């Protein structure tokens, strides 16, 4: 029986010879070829290159993933550390973190040996060997810490059963094999210890600007928090800037995570309180505590945000985020999200964020602008929808009025919806043509909202249109989900970070309420007067009484794609720019950006046709 | 400069060594591998197997294609005969026969040699070498007739840029290279002599039932027709059965094409005239001639239909198509479609169809039933649509009433639309679930309507639902296209051939006219009273006045997906089965058939990574 001994041995080079499980007409030729190939690859693979990104996969820290991205090769290099290997491990990716329909690599053992193979799970969780081996093992190495597996995967494989690695959130999944198996096909993911971890796999490859010489640091931490023995805790902690702290620019910030708690600290944000609030009590406790002072609700201006897997956040060298000085609150709120699925008790934590700031103000103030849908029940999602799309517009008229002639430069973005959000994208259009993606997350999760640096700064000029679309899943809802602030209502927002700062704080839209009234009327006409269209009924009440059939659903979609819009082109959330903003024409888009077709890896002809035999510990127990 | 000599030489085995045009990290390893591979393939390829299917590609007969299909390997084997090769030839497939976005094999020459490679053309017609070589050359052979190229292609390649070979019509394209080229990339299809040929590539693999011993034959031919010097001619020719010809079963028919005219005779049909018409004049001339007797319009009952590329049509051994005897007309109309794009003059033709019939009637009469949409303007397609779908239903209520308890068996199908039809599919549903495809053509052309044997007989039981959907392209239309008989109106019909014959001749539907009135009213309400809803306006008039915007288009789609239907469940086109057929519920389908995902060829890892060098004539002028 194959086992890995606990004792350290020198690093061993793998793979050895290849075997094909499937019958092959050209088995010998392929095997010969594979050996040549592996030799070639071992020469060319960046085996010694560092892995700049790290994340624990499971809450116990048994599995630790490091990775690096080659944009030239369109390939991700993974290094998986398995600390206490029993009979094997599954690792992979799936649409939303489910273990069914997942794209997997499996390290497994039978009574004779150990194998590494590219596999996939079907919709029942049954694991199958992939006919095309796209995960390629580069090295396996035993160390005192555990087994290191080094392997690579192209972003796209052109295998329709494979996961396409895209920008935005990737749901990593894992599973642990406790016992050796007769074959790979004996695995069903439903019977394993499994889990998921969300991460931005394709981190941007941007150089970090040098920090100014007079950079100071400030740690915003909640000291010595006893992490509550519950799955989810949002911890709120108030600190304040020194009295008379003058205006500075934040130029960088980075997480400080207490050692040992890496798998528990899920995300952290630093908010500045509103200048109008004179003083804020020094509260430190769960954000949903009944003891929490009311005034903490006025601390919502984001200064810094970090989420699991993210590294330091650098402002572009021409810009910094202003804080301190007159007209700005001295009070800061740190919010730490502890994710404690194993309900570990007694763990103490002092995590937080370290701000790097300078008094030598940079050329530009950075700003944050809110794009997407206005918070109004006019925008609603019928129940039982798997992928309903709502779209908000920042119109040419608003950008014409509010942006400087030289435009603004968006360098980072944070996407936001409530619980039913599944995808978010913002596209820039000019002269009726979509030009570029500002930010897109096709595997968006409301539980993983990080500020992301854009791979490429997007410049927005007066007259440009910014179109933000969110896709929602309301399969678990019985009634329509309307837009609004409540957690059971929905939002569609992209907070874009840009410079130079302008007066435009919010550029969003919603369908014209008059057209929605026409909609309720026509649904009524087609459905024998079931809908209450009496004028005293509120929009949520009217939505609640719509009989949801294919016609009322399709016509609502058609309405949102046709009705004129109310545009919110605001200096602050209350003050609109001057002009007529009601019943504005929906921006007309005559040409859409094409979906990028994944490049089929050129090296496809060189991938092995079956699993790889590992030469460590096989058959010697 | 590479040239092929005109003199015959013995067959030469190809390919020789491989070259890669693209730079490769592993060039040497791949080349070595390729040689091994080619050697292996030459052993396994069915080089000696016959090619049962043949078609001329161009009207001059310069290119002749033969092919065979391996359903086990999911591969088509092609043999292309190039009679007068100059500098090369392009052959391939595209969505609708265009030379842009086509999937191609190219045989080309430069000053040094000749090459065979898998390529594709972009949307501007520019040719590129494919990174994945899926067309695989098996042999090239020079003969007195010309150059024979033998190659194969899997149905699906999993390369998103490649054409997927599916059931139904395939648009084959070709081009002739006149001069040697510096490189493949020098080709733009717009500058070549090119053309297209439609064919059912994936012919069914069904065994031909033995013919009865007392089979007789009858040739229905238009003797000695002088093919008119015009591109399109439909020739009509009336013949009659012998006086007192008793009832027989047609058990098979096959085309008789005059030698030399293979590229001109596009399709032929034999119709029986209506029994009510006592006698029909012996006309022989163009069907659109002013001299054509009015009574020929009553000759529309199909007895036999053949189109280019089709072979003999065999009835299943338990069934035959009745003709002759009392209650059936003695008069037959042969219609021959001559397609003469080069306007060749003076060519004479005596093509027709040979019927094989028997007096020993088989167990079952075969019947023909019409599925799809009723001919009514209620079903309409907005203008400027690229893929608008209309659906007609044969409901459970109708099949319950009209089919025998043991059901009927559909063995062949002929799809029919007018000019804007692009796709047609009929699906069988039972208990709200789609069960099987009766017939599907995703590259349907109204110019290529053949009767096709089904790969698998489909049994329809009482209570089953048959759903026929047609996809239309009205990009070139300015007004809505309504349903109807006119050539500029549309139809959506599947003529299914089945046994045992029943009284049900027509099982179709259309949306309820009352709901269409509601539609016109609501479009009116949303568009400031532009639509004429006055009761005296006809449906086509009302459609003509609809302002076509995204809302009126989307709501019409929603209406067709929601409104109750009028069902035509008829014994003959005039007589309905008894029952209530108006305002019937739209059949509810809770589970759809999944689109088949193409199998990625297992041999992918073995395909060459670049073009193949041919060893014939290269560099020796």
Which of these ranges, B9-13, B406-410, B457-461, B548-552, has the smallest mean pLDDT?
A: B9-13
**Are A561 and B554 within 8 A, CB to CB?**
yes
Tokens 């009514």 found at: B376
The pLDDT score that the predictor gives to residue A615 is: 59
Portion 351-380 of A in contact with B at CB < 8 A: none
The DSSP annotation for B66-112 comes to EEEEETTTTEEEEEEEESS-SSEEEEEEESSS-STT-EEEEEEE-SS
The pLDDT score that the predictor gives to residue A9 is: 38
Contact residues on chain A for B130, CB-CB shorter than 8 A: none
Per-residue pLDDT for A571 more than 90?
no
The pLDDT score that the predictor gives to residue B43 is: 41
Which of A120, A42, A13, A36 is CA-nearest to residue A608? A36
Render pLDDT for B82-129 as a digit per residue (tens, 0 to 9).
998 889 999 999 999 999 999 999 999 888 888 999 999 999 999 999
Report residue A532's pLDDT band, with 50, 70 and 90 as the boundaries: low
The pLDDT score that the predictor gives to residue B493 is: 93
Per-residue pLDDT for A310 more than 80?
no
Report residue B26's pLDDT band, with 50, 70 and 90 as the boundaries: very low
What is the predicted ipTM?
0.72
The pLDDT score that the predictor gives to residue B599 is: 65
Give the pairing of strands A388-394 and A465-472: antiparallel
**CA-to-CA dists, residue B24 to A134, A603, B131, B608, angstroms:** 18, 9, 11, 12
> Residue A319: exposed, middle, or buried by beta-carbon count in 10 A (0-12, 13-18, 19+)?
buried
**Are A559 and B549 within 8 A, CB to CB?**
no
Render pLDDT for A377-386 as a digit per residue (tens, 0 to 9).
999 999 999 9
Report residue B479's pLDDT band, with 50, 70 and 90 as the boundaries: very high
| Gap between the Cα atoms of A123 and A102, Å rounded | 9
Query: Closest residue of A to B33, CA-based?
Result: A33
The span from the first CA to the last CA of chain A, in angstroms, equals 5
Per-residue pLDDT for A607 more than 60?
no
Mean pLDDT, all residues of chain A: 86
> Helix, strand, coil % (nearest 5) of chain B?
10, 40, 50
Rounded to the nearest angstrom, the minimum Cα separation between B385 and chain A is 14
Centre a 10 Å sphere on the Cβ of residue A14 and count the other Cβ atoms it contains. 21
The pLDDT score that the predictor gives to residue A339 is: 86
The partner residues of A103 in beta bridges, in order of sequence, read A93, A120
**Are A526 and B549 within 8 A, CB to CB?**
no
Distance of CA A603 to the CA centre of its chain: 29
The pLDDT score that the predictor gives to residue A621 is: 31
Give yes or no for A327 touching B (CB within 8 A): no
- SS3 (DSSP) at B518: helix
Count of positions (residues) in chain A? 621
**Are B558 and A558 within 8 A, CB to CB?**
yes
The pLDDT score that the predictor gives to residue B374 is: 94
The pLDDT score that the predictor gives to residue A55 is: 92
Span B239-261, mean pLDDT?
Answer: 95
The pLDDT score that the predictor gives to residue A534 is: 58
Contact residues on chain A for B29, CB-CB shorter than 8 A: 33, 36-37, 40, 606
Q: Which of A161, A598, A609 sits opposite B605 (nearest CB)?
A: A609
- SS3 (DSSP) at A234: strand
Centre a 10 Å sphere on the Cβ of residue B562 and count the other Cβ atoms it contains. 19
The DSSP annotation for A269-310 comes to EEEEPPTT-------EEETT-TTS-GGGGG--EEEEEEETT-
Report residue A530's pLDDT band, with 50, 70 and 90 as the boundaries: low
Give yes or no for B551 touching A (CB within 8 A): yes
- SS3 (DSSP) at A457: strand
The pLDDT score that the predictor gives to residue A515 is: 94
- Do the beta carbons of residue B156 and residue B600 sit within 8 Å? yes
Span A296-308, mean pLDDT?
Answer: 85
pLDDT cut 90: percent of chain B above it? 63
**Are B558 and A549 within 8 A, CB to CB?**
no
The pLDDT score that the predictor gives to residue A526 is: 82
**Are B550 and A561 within 8 A, CB to CB?**
yes
The pLDDT score that the predictor gives to residue A41 is: 40
The partner residues of B390 in beta bridges, in order of sequence, read B470
Which one has a higher pLDDT value, A602 or A18?
A602
Centre a 10 Å sphere on the Cβ of residue A153 and count the other Cβ atoms it contains. 24
Mean pLDDT, all residues of chain B: 86
The pLDDT score that the predictor gives to residue B458 is: 98
Which of A274, A315, A308 is CA-nearest to residue A294? A274
- SS3 (DSSP) at B42: helix
Report residue A39's pLDDT band, with 50, 70 and 90 as the boundaries: very low
Render pLDDT for A175-224 as a digit per residue (tens, 0 to 9).
999 999 888 889 999 999 999 999 999 999 888 888 999 999 999 999 99
Q: Which residues of B are catalytic?
A: 234, 416
Portion 111-150 of B in contact with A at CB < 8 A: 131-132
Query: Closest residue of B to A598, CA-based?
Result: B160
Give yes or no for B159 touching A (CB within 8 A): yes
> Using DSSP, how many helices (H) and how many strands (E) does chain A show?
5, 37
| Gap between the Cα atoms of A501 and A444, Å rounded | 27
Span A51-74, mean pLDDT?
Answer: 92
- SS3 (DSSP) at B57: coil
Give yes or no for B555 touching A (CB within 8 A): yes
Report residue A365's pLDDT band, with 50, 70 and 90 as the boundaries: very high
Span B190-195, mean pLDDT?
Answer: 93
Give, as one character, the DSSP assignment of residue A592: P
The pLDDT score that the predictor gives to residue B15 is: 35
Span B293-303, mean pLDDT?
Answer: 85
Give yes or no for A534 touching B (CB within 8 A): no
Give yes or no for B40 touching A (CB within 8 A): yes
**Are B131 and A600 within 8 A, CB to CB?**
yes
B16 is written with which tokens? 């020789």
Render pLDDT for A229-276 as a digit per residue (tens, 0 to 9).
998 898 999 999 999 999 999 999 999 999 989 888 988 999 999 888
Per-residue pLDDT for B616 more than 70?
no
- Do the beta carbons of residue A425 and residue A469 sit within 8 Å? yes
Rounded to the nearest angstrom, the minimum Cα separation between B72 and chain A is 14
Please state whether the predicted TM-score (pTM) of the whole model is above 0.90: no
| Gap between the Cα atoms of B101 and B173, Å rounded | 11
Q: Which of B26, B159, B562 sits opposite A40 (nearest CB)?
A: B26
Report residue A361's pLDDT band, with 50, 70 and 90 as the boundaries: very high
Render pLDDT for B423-450 as a digit per residue (tens, 0 to 9).
999 999 999 999 999 999 999 998 888 8
Span B49-78, mean pLDDT?
Answer: 90
Give yes or no for A527 touching B (CB within 8 A): no
Give, as one character, the DSSP assignment of residue A164: P
- Do the beta carbons of residue A148 and residue A10 sit within 8 Å? no
| Gap between the Cα atoms of A523 and B586, Å rounded | 18
Span B126-137, mean pLDDT?
Answer: 89
| Gap between the Cα atoms of A39 and A32, Å rounded | 11
Rounded to the nearest angstrom, the minimum Cα separation between A468 and chain B is 19
**Are B40 and A26 within 8 A, CB to CB?**
yes
The pLDDT score that the predictor gives to residue B530 is: 53
Which of these ranges, A197-201, A530-534, B140-144, has the smallest mean pLDDT?
A: A530-534
Rounded to the nearest angstrom, the minimum Cα separation between A522 and chain B is 7
The widest CA-to-CA distance across chain A, in whole angstroms, is 80
Best of B33, B38, B527, B553 to mutate (most A CBs within 10 Å, chain A): B33
- Do the beta carbons of residue B285 and residue B338 sit within 8 Å? no
The pLDDT score that the predictor gives to residue B46 is: 43
């Amino acid at each position: 029986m194959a086992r890995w001994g606990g004792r350290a041995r020198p690093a061993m080079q793998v793979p050895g010879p290849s075997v094909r499980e499937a019958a092959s007409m050209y088995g010998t030729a392929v095997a010969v070829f594979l050996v040549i190939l592996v030799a070639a690859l071992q020469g060319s693979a960046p085996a010694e290159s560092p892995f700049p990104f790290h994340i624990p996969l499971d809450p116990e820290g048994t599995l630790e993933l490091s990775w690096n991205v080659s944009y030239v090769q369109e390939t991700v290099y993974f290094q998986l550390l398995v600390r206490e290997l029993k009979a094997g491990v599954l690792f992979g990716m799936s649409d939303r973190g489910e273990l069914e329909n997942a794209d997997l690599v499996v390290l497994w053992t039978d009574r004779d040996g150990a194998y590494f193979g590219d596999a996939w799970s079907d919709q029942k969780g049954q694991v199958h060997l992939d006919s095309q081996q796209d995960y390629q093992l580069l090295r396996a190495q035993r160390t005192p810490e555990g087994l290191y597996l080094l392997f690579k995967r192209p972003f796209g494989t052109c295998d329709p059963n494979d996961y396409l690695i895209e920008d935005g959130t990737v749901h990593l999944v894992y599973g642990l094999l406790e016992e050796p198996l007769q074959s790979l096909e004996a695995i069903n993911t439903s019977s394993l210890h499994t889990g998921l971890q969300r991460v931005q796999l394709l981190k941007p490859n941007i150089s970090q600007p040098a920090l100014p010489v007079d950079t100071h640091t400030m740690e915003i931490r909640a000291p010595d928090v006893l992490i509550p023995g519950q799955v989810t805790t949002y911890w709120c902690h108030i600190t304040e800037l020194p009295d008379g702290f003058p205006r500075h620019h934040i130029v960088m910030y980075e997480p400080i995570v207490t050692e040992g708690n890496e798998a528990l600290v899920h995300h952290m944000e630093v908010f500045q309180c509103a200048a109008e609030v004179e003083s804020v009590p020094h509260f430190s406790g769960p954000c949903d505590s009944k003891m929490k002072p009311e005034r903490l609700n006025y601390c919502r201006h984001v200064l810094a945000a970090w989420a699991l897997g993210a590294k330091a956040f650098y402002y572009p060298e021409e810009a910094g985020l202003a804080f301190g000085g007159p007209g700005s609150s001295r009070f800061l709120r740190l919010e730490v999200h502890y994710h404690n699925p194993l309900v570990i008790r007694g763990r103490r934590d002092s995590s937080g964020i370290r701000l790097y700031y300078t008094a030598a103000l940079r050329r530009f103030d950075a700003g944050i602008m809110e794009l997407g849908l206005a918070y109004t029940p006019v925008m609603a999602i019928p129940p039982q929808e798997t992928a309903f799309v709502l779209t908000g517009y920042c119109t040419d008229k608003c950008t014409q009025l509010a942006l400087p002639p030289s435009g603004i430069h968006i360098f980072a973005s944070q996407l936001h919806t409530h619980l039913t959000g599944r995808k978010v994208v913002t596209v820039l259009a000019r002269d009726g043509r979509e030009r570029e993606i500002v930010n897109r997350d096709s595997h968006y999760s409301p539980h993983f909202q990080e500020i992301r640096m854009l791979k490429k700064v997007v410049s927005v000029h007066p007259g440009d249109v910014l179109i933000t679309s969110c896709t929602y899943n309301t399969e678990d809802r019985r009634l329509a989900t309307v837009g609004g602030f409540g957690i059971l209502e929905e939002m569609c927002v992209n907070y874009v970070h840009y410079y130079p700062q302008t007066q435009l704080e919010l550029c969003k839209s919603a369908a014209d309420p008059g057209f929605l009234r026409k909609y309720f009327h026509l649904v009524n006409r087609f459905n024998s007067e079931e809908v209450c269209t009496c004028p005293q009924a509120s929009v949520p009440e009217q939505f609640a009484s719509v009989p949801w059939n294919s016609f009322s659903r399709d016509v609502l979609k058609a309405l949102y794609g046709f009705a004129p819009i109310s545009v919110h082109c605001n200096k602050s959330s209350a003050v609109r720019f001057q002009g007529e903003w009601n019943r504005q024409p929906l921006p007309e888009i005559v040409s859409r950006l094409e979906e990028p077709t994944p490049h089929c890896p050129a090296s496809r002809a060189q991938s092995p046709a079956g699993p790889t035999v590992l030469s460590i510990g096989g058959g010697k127990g």
